[in-house]
A and B are shown apart, each in its own frame.
Chain A
């Protein structure tokens, strides 16, 4: 049975999109049946289940559900809660790629879970496997003050083009695309296989800077500019050309050298550009050129809600701010300016003190869905920092929203602070892990739980990965923590100075020998103390590090252990 989808301010499926998702579920149901009957071997089944988001983890199957460009309606979030209750253990995990993972799925239930998702126009297509993955975007898209154009229009266009792409379903390796429509990049476009940045040129036209070959993982690299300015209607032709070059020439002899970043590194960005441009020249005026009507029809669906401008000041907000210190802190860290006067973008922190980053129970999901419906036009976002975003909240409703979020445990005033940690699933779930990530995050979170202290420390991003695959993005953490295994002992390598801000994208530098699990908190504490002693006026942790270098941090940290 399909539910009626309420009006949303983002793309809603038409009968074609629905037909495709339904047919995909039917196809997968048949594949699961063939696997369960033994007709398919695990080796044959594996790529099929992966392209439907189904992984085999340490303890069970994990289903990774796509949340395209991180945008969700309240109704969709409620359905995710239902699915978590019915087919999992009643909770889910929001990931750094704006997906939701359910960790305890049974193979025989997977087709039903996917059918339930299809009822709200969602799927798990291409959330895994060596193909074009779910496209990610700025989580403030459609609300940010600094936005040139809503990147989700383009994410949707890319989503459709990449879905079951017949030529690119067996690439050398996975392929991640991120799009930002703001000069302040919140989508980390320089660390994706392809990053697209919308910008306005001197002639006043908006087009894409196409960035290629970025990525974290074992060989972290910052992407290089392939094309300075690409007219928007040529996006698909240019992507098709890029993917074709990669499909033909990307390495397939070594799993660890198969990403496009290695191809770009080995042949050089000039040669890559030459090849892509040559291919592009052949197809640019062909069927992939986007008709203005096509772009317009999709863009219309992302038209922002009709928000009536309101007064920016609210007596209720002022009163509560004076009464409750935590609310005041929350206003500072968890709200961002909205393009319509009198509104704010609210980030619900999925990082309450001591909790596993990004986890939400079904009850919490339902609760956030209610809040979105009451106070945010029924709309939500998932951020790559593993938080949920309420994009359209009237300033006078902030006290109610904060109270409701706090009631759910998502009202922590810590966005961008030291306890707003990104951590991969690590050894608690992941078959590839060297070490645990979540418990390390939890210990750091508990240690720095005091909100006033967190706000004094200021902006500080800690990112933790359980192995060199870097799903926790440790390379771009101001403090990066990487789990390594030395003769069966879990150790943690600490790096400093990573960043993903556009123009400042940098990879962290390893400080020295890895430290033991029970020393990580002390190590982080000594880094913070060094910063607090040395910081100059208005300097963030990473700024101080850039100014004074690694030595003072290193000395103090190893001295303390």
Chain B
């Protein structure tokens, strides 16, 4: 399993690994202390960790590394990035290259998420003013 980290100089502890049935909100203030949270995709069609990621980033304001592990394939990357993942374990050939391209695959996004990209609705509003 190869590991792809956005920032390889960051400390990896303290860390916690969660199951995709865990309630991430139970971590509460604990997230401020954590440097790495690992979320899992038992099957790539099981999308619970996307919600966990958004709650961690958006609701709890988690700033550390957020890693996807398990069935992680390159075609999920645009979604994973938008939900706040910034580190990935995957054994799929070509994953690293795909990661480089993933952000530019779609120049347009419709949803506001925690990745900081401006959704189309905001761009339209700005261009109208």
Give A residues with C-beta under 8 Å from B: 14, 16-17, 19-20, 23-24, 27, 31, 39, 44, 47-48, 130, 160-161, 163-171, 244, 247-248, 252, 282, 286-288, 290-291, 293-294, 297
Is there contact, CB below 8 Å, between A294 and B121? yes
Interface size of B by Cβ–Cβ distance < 8 Å?
Answer: 36
Given A170-B79, A282-B59, 17 new contacts (CB under 8 A):
A20-B107, A20-B108, A27-B105, A160-B121, A161-B110, A163-B110, A165-B110, A166-B50, A166-B82, A170-B47, A170-B50, A244-B54, A247-B51, A252-B46, A287-B119, A293-B128, A294-B124
19 contacts between A and B (CB under 8 A): A20-B110, A23-B105, A23-B106, A27-B106, A31-B75, A44-B73, A47-B45, A163-B110, A166-B50, A166-B79, A166-B82, A170-B79, A244-B54, A247-B47, A247-B51, A248-B48, A288-B112, A291-B121, A297-B124
Give the docked Cα–Cα distance between A44 and B125 (Å): 39
**B19 on the A face (CB < 8 A):** no
| Residue-wise interface mask of B (52-95) relative to A, using a CB-CB cutoff of 8 A (1 in contact, 0 not) | 10100001000000000000010100111111000000000110
B110 touches A169 (CB 8 A): no
Minimum CB distance partner of B93 in chain A: A39
**A27 CB → nearest B CB, Å:** 6
Within 8 Å CB of A44, what residues of B? 73, 75
B93 to chain A, nearest CB (A): 8
What residues of chain B have their CB less than 8 Å away from a CB belonging to chain A? 44-48, 50-52, 54, 59, 73, 75, 78-83, 93-94, 105-113, 119-121, 123-125, 128
Contacts of B109 in A (CB 8 A): 164
Pair A166/B108 contact, Cβ less than 8 Å: no
Evaluate contact between A247 and B45: CB separation under 8 angstroms: no
A248 CA / B46 CA spacing, docked (Å) = 10
Residue of B nearest to A246 (CB): B51
Q: Kindly list chain B residues whose C-beta atoms are within 8 Å of the C-beta of A164.
A: 78-79, 106, 109-110
Report chain A residues within 8 Å CB of B46. 170, 252
| Residue in A closest to B45 when the chains form the complex, CB atoms | A170
Q: Which residues of B contact A282 (CB under 8 A)?
A: 59
CB proximity of A163 to chain B, nearest CB, Å: 5
Contact B111 A161 (CB under 8 A): yes
